[in-house]
Amino acid sequence: MEAQQGKYCAEDFMWSKCYTFLSENRFESEELMCVAMIVGKGHFEVRNDSLILDYEPIEYFDHNFSMIKDETKKCDNIQLEFEIIDFQSQAPIDTAKLSIFEESYTLIGKNKEFTIDNFQSPIFISVYVENHSSQNIILTENGNYKIHLELMDNVHRDSYDHARGTESYKMQHLGKDTLLLLNENNWEYLKWIKTNKNP
Contact 151, 135 (CB under 8 A): yes
Which residues of the chain have a pLDDT value below 50?
198-199
pLDDT for 151 equals: 93
Contact 54, 166 (CB under 8 A): yes
Domains of the chain, by residue range, sit at 2-56+161-196, 65-151
In Å, how far from its chain's centre is CA 128? 14
CATH class of 65-151: mainly beta
Residue 3 DSSP one-character state:
G
pLDDT for 25 equals: 94
pLDDT, tens digit (0-9, with 9 covering 90-100), for 17-67 = 889 999 999 999 999 988 889 999 999 998 888 889 999 999 899 889 999
Record: fold of 2-56+161-196:
Lipocalin (2.40.128)
pLDDT for 146 equals: 95
